[in-house]
Structure 1
């Protein structure tokens, strides 16, 4: 057992006390930051906000990580998983100097300390989490469950990085975190870094005990061994003992990580290792008030937030607060100017070795552009509109294959997804790479390897999302492909990432990262065998709730447009891009050059499809009806409806508008991609009927266009929660998105064509009855539906 000098451990304890003092000060102090005079009520914030319970344990961990970083020159970032752990990370980055370098007004003296305290959970200040404003943070911790998956994402393709991930025992009860322990089955010790999970077992969550704290130590040990970890336990409450025990455990853990990597990288040992982890068992609210008003605080859930919750109204609490602050003996830790004394300051690493200054926690600083092939080389040949394609994502696959191949040496691009890469027709990727996998491989397995660029061998949307977020936040690029209906599983994770992007974009010191790109296939309109459970296009609605500066939504109508959109998304920075595309054979409308132009505009009139008859200037034409479409199936059904109208009502002036970039519909005052009112009116007119076929829920189009002049004439067809196991065309019929319903809606909006229109409606109603009878007898769509082509 390695021993550490008592003098070193005593200095580490003093550093820990300094971090604890700063943490308590952030929660409580309005003034008198170093207690130069007796504490008064006017020195205490009127609103006491923050979370103390997890903080001293995280401070304890941070100072011990500092020791091994400085001793071994380690490259470590810190993830604070427990909710509201901000005081600890802020205190420690302030002590090491990272905070003041980024925020010079928060100086390392008494005046800066005063500002540090005042800004915390205070109007105009900073949150109580390890938010984007906090140096060294890539994980806010406000919503629990994602810290460990973020930690693994951060070390994929980062062979020199160790991510120390503190996991609260309350957080450990969430589904995503419980599943994330399996991430060790995907970590390649040759090409990836290491994750050091530190389970902070302090016994309680907000108001009740935690499960992992109440099971036996034997069961807890077996649980983590079963997950494939080697747990090291550090347990107690006496500081001197705990410092010695933690130092010893951390030395063993770091030595084990180095041993695993050495054997894999230089000795060629490929057997999956048992990675080490630490279980730190300490009282909740450690070193805080033990008893208040006769009630136990330390070591109970009452220490979770603010242990002394109302000094103004409860006699004696002000005195207890003063005793608590003085117990850290700040006069021994800070000099007369309020600076940390040199013998303690030297315990922190320097430069980029400080966890608050590690460039991996500001990933945009490390970001390199992807090497991208020319997407124009991958387009489908479209000799005329409507030719049959092989499937849009199947066309995209070779482009992504070559993106992966071009960036293999840089190791900065991966594709993530919950076992759906093949299902979503992206199998071309496996021509150049495999799935990363560290478990045994059997002869019948396909595309599994120790070192792959595809991360889809875990059936958990949470893990794929968390891995990708960690990968992006540390300066790399990626793509998440998923079934459209089940991307909802990570709604909350998307929320947190979008909020992170929004806040970090306002911080000049935070560099922009690569965009979070979603490719949603197996979408609502093609669920022939899956049925109702697999039908939900509502992720779009969820996404557009977020800040316009962050979100983008694209619905390419064919494969060539998908190629153009994906090229754009992979080049973009600091957005969330949602791309929805089909994987089944479908019509192709635009040549690759036309697709690039159309997608660049995001919206446009397809004059070849419409029947506007200009008198002099094409742009001056006023159509009788506007047929708008957004999405691959809505585009197909719209053009099929237009073909019926052009045949049956040849005098009708029809304008066809296709929308690729959904946010074009918003006013330019609301979204940077939005159209001005004049531009919108030029497309959709100010007073003519608009029959709008939309991929998702109709209400979203009304929401995006409600301020437009012609909104009253906007008639939207989309998903109406109808349909189960049925044919592809019948899905559109059940939701009235099909060509027949679209055509009848046009007729209903044009009463002056009543005689011809009524005849046409009668024919179409007959067609709908014929369709229903046919599919119920044959199980297939009618030949005229399956074989329909855009007329020459």
Structure 2
């Protein structure tokens, strides 16, 4: 078998071989055009009539010929080299090309037997495209061999590198559209090659496709001087080859030569690195620049306007086929120009000329196991959580930094899975800042560039991926997960918003993926959001934003999960659960600063399994019906609720207080809305139906109202949280500014429990005075009051 890392050079392709590549290309172009236009008569066995054409022409032709050209040439190389290859489609709306290619190779019919490998299947292939009840115009999860949809541009190259990490024999061919190349994430993704280790990783072959236009404008990289483009690509660490033109025959020859050249170069890079016995030098990876006309082989002119090679070919070149006989005639001429009678037999199956250079079995790019990552996914060997949990004699009896405790557990995750090499930690330059640095005891950060004596924890074989781009970290992780591995991303809470759109796309992918029977479950994408809003007092307002949870909570309930562990021990159990899960997006919000540990090993495990529960030890008069429920979700809110409960016990001892802590935020939803949701009976047993609930929440308070508004007792909910009152100040002042401090919570109880307002007036006044005393103190001393800094539950 010839794979990346071999020294075997294939023979120069013959004219006969290139003729077969051309036949495959023409067949795929024909099917792409048919999908956009036709609902019937896919083999043109009779003259086209208006009823053969879809009533709504929806699709994008312009990128399809280039994608088909690349795919057909890659197939030749795969067959010659017996090469495992994954195909990533960067240009948006390239679905018709990939539906066509996977149908021609048979992988589509194997995945979707109803789209059979014959004329009936061709009819269904065409009818379903961008049709109600059919398939979308992107390379969505429906397409076998896909890990990247391309609905939102900019992520293809990051996904491709994520798939190549720890896949040493895989070549990931990534077509980068020139419109896509203008996006910020894609511009950053060119740096990914500097993190690709030729010893242990596969290779990524970027193919920058310059077809010149976006929807209605020229593309930037197609309009700069060739020398400037070459300098740009070389400056990004690549060795580009150029294939340019519009005449198919010389273009086939040039593409075949360029492809053989770059694959030989990849072989050479990997052979040298894997045989040297030394840490690898960072290679200059090859890249192909393909410059071909947009809408290549389509109509040259329509209604006197140029189409091929212009922006007019971006979508549907002949939009009025049903209404205008001359356009119907043009469409038939266009389709017959591919000579379908030579490409398909009477039964509708592709001829031998078309299929001669299509790979077999899982060498077909539509059948790549890495593109259906659950097929190759191996469970992580996870360390025992209890062995890492903090020993606790009583609630709040000790303190710990939650993420530092988690870091030691993650260190052991790396150690236990060293041989399988299927786990990585991703993050934008924040692993140590987020107190996960224990992982550096067993692995380093991946680094193939220059190192200096002052540098720490850098190595070519490191398994921590740090680069100061949230987009790139997320894109790498998505590609890594979708191709069958495990990972975690750690990020400052406020800046997770940078990837709002990316998580939206990944959630949509997972939702569709979960409904496709041949797609196997993949490891969940898990965020650890730390350095959070309540401890960004030193960095100020710009770093204070807990809204990523709101964004995720709006997404498909069968996919998203949100966890707010209140201490180090619950964080361990939540993390263990998330790394065992499949097909979810998990968001964990946890602090890195020293804080109380509330629950011991067994109590933490039970509480996390419940997702929400009553802390009887924290309330007052647990055997009575509560006068008020103090609820909390998040570590800082939990401290304030318990401090408020203590104040109530001290100053209003007759008040029956129930404390409810929520770890799994989705538990607040009804069970009919979310798989983790509570029944009304369970919810009412925690929060009651008629007693006031004062809820201290980590983020924006209206999210709690949205999650609970259908509940019987919702009218009694009063939620405190972050309300955009931030600045550079002390930790406790952040709570005071947003009215989530312990004194305000006591005031809220007094204001809402019937009969307390008049009788507890002196206590209310004292709480107000304490807030004012706090303000005066911090202005004078620059730190919080001693009784705030030294507060502990056990001191009650």
TM-score, normalisation: structure 1: 0.98
Partner residue of 2:3?
none
Q: Which residue of 2 aligns with 1:373?
A: 383
Counting only pairs closer than 5 Å after superposition, residues 18-33 of structure 1 correspond to structure 2 as 18-33=27-42
Match of 2:156 among 147, 156, 171: 147
Contact kept? 2:400, 2:597, Cα under 8 Å: no
- Deviation sequence 1:497-546 (CA, Å, 0-9, x none): 10111001001100000000000000000012110000111111110111
Match of 1:617 in 2: none
Partner of 1:383: 393
Structure 2: 5+ residue runs without aligned partners?
1-9
The answer to whether 1:478 aligns with 2:449 is no
1:754 to 742, 754, 757: 757
* 8 Å Cα contact 1:417-1:461 kept in structure 2: yes
Q: Give the 5 Å matches for 1:295-374.
A: 295-374=305-384
Aligned-pair CA distance for 1:344? 2.3
Q: Note if contact 2:648-2:746 (Cα within 8 Å) is conserved in structure 1.
A: yes
CA distance in 2 between partners of 1:669 and 1:253 (Å): 54
Q: Secondary structure at the match of 2:323?
A: coil
Structure-2 residue corresponding to 1:276: 286
Distance 1:21 1:789 in 2: 73
Tell me which residue corresponds to 2:299. Answer: 289
Deviations 1:718-754 (A, max 9, x none): 0000021000000000000000000000000124123
Q: Structure 2: how far apart are the matches of 1:250 and 1:117?
A: 31
3-state DSSP class of the match of 1:49? coil
Q: Cα RMSD over matched residues? A: 1.0
- Write the distance in 2 (CA, Å) between the matches of 1:572 and 1:4: 47
CA offsets per residue over residues 534-559 of structure 1, 9 Å max, x none? 01111111101111110000000000
1:37 aligns with 2:50: no
Paired residue for 1:605? 614
Q: SS in structure 2 opposite 1:108?
A: coil
Does residue 731 of the first structure (1) align with residue 731 of the second (2)?
no
Q: Deviations over 1:51-71 (max 9, x none)?
A: 000000000000000001010
1:467 and 2:476 correspond: yes
- 1:672 is paired with a residue of what secondary structure? coil
Deviation, 1:293, is: 0.6
**What is the CA-CA distance between 1:419 and the residue it aligns to?**
0.2
> Hey, what does 1:412 align to over in structure 2?
422
Q: Are the counterparts in 2 of residues 388 and 585 from structure 1 also a CA contact under 8 Å?
A: no
Distance in 1 between residues matched to 2:275 and 2:287, nearest whole Å: 23
Corresponding position: 1:672 with 2:665: no
Instruction: Answer yes or no: is the 8 Å Cα contact 1:95–1:345 preserved in 2.
Output: yes
Please point out which of 403, 421, 429 is paired with 2:439.
429
Alignment partner of 1:189: what SS? coil
Runs of 4 or more above 3 Å deviation: none
Shift of 1:764: 1.0
Corresponding residue SS for 2:367: coil
1:614-655 Cα deviation digits (max 9, x unpaired): 2xxxxxx42100000000000000000000000101010000
Corresponding residue of 1:509: 518
Distance across 2 between alignment mates of 1:753 and 1:694? 24
Question: What are the superposed Cα offsets for residues 278-309 of structure 1, whole Å, 9 maximum, x if unpaired?
Answer: 00000000000000011000001000000001
How far the C-alpha of 1:103 sits from its partner, in A, is 1.0
Shift of 1:380: 1.1
Q: Deviations over 1:465-506 (max 9, x none)?
A: 000000000000000000000000000100011011100100
2:679 counterpart of 1:662: no
Deviation per CA, 1:115-137: give whole Å up to 9, x if none. Answer: 00000000000001100000000
Q: 1:247 pairs with 247, 256, 261, which one?
A: 256
Distance 1:165 1:307 in 2: 26
Alignment of 1:15-94 (within 5 A): 15-94=24-103
1:156-189 CA distance string (max 9 Å, x none): 0000011000000000000000010011110000
Residue 95 of structure 1 pairs with residue 104 of structure 2: yes
How far apart in 2 are the matches of 1:162 and 1:4?
A: 20
* Structure 1 position 390, deviation (Å): 2.9
2:692 is aligned with 1:684: no
Paired residues, number: 785
Displacement after TM superposition at 1:108 (Å): 1.3
In the aligned structure 2, how far is the partner of 1:193 from the partner of 1:120? 34
By how many angstroms is 1:260 displaced? 0.1
Determine the C-alpha separation between the residues in 2 that align with 1:207 and 1:582. Answer: 47
* 2:713 aligned partner: 710
Give yes or no for contact 2:20–2:356 (8 Å, CA) kept in 1.
no
Cα distance in structure 2, aligned partners of 1:4 and 1:504: 38
Deviations 1:64-97 (A, max 9, x none): 0000101001010101000001111110000001
Change in 2 beyond 3 A, CA 1:219/1:613: closer
Deviation at 1:310, TM superposition (A): 1.3
Aligned 1:618-657 pairs, distance under 5 A: 621-657=624-660
TM-score w.r.t. the length of structure 2 is 0.98
Quick check: 1:162 aligned with 2:171? yes
Tell me by how many angstroms 1:268 deviates: 3.7
Query: C-alpha distance in 2, partners of 1:127/1:325?
Result: 22
Question: Is 1:781 paired with 2:781?
Answer: no
Distance in 1 (alpha carbons) for counterparts of 2:449 and 2:728 = 37
**Other structure's SS at 2:409 match:** helix
Compute the displacement of 1:2 (Å). Answer: 7.3
Structure 1's unaligned 5+ residue stretches are 615-620
The answer to whether structure 1 residue 398 and structure 2 residue 408 are counterparts is yes
Determine the C-alpha separation between the residues in 1 that align with 2:152 and 2:556.
19
Name the CA distance, whole Å, in 2 between partners of 1:325 and 1:12.
19
Give the alignment partner of residue 571 of structure 1, picking from 580, 591, 596.
580
Deviation at 1:107, TM superposition (A): 1.1
Task: Return the offset for 1:223.
Answer: 0.6
CA distance in 1, matches of 2:282, 2:268: 13
SS in 2 for 1:212: coil
CA distance in 1, matches of 2:37, 2:465: 45
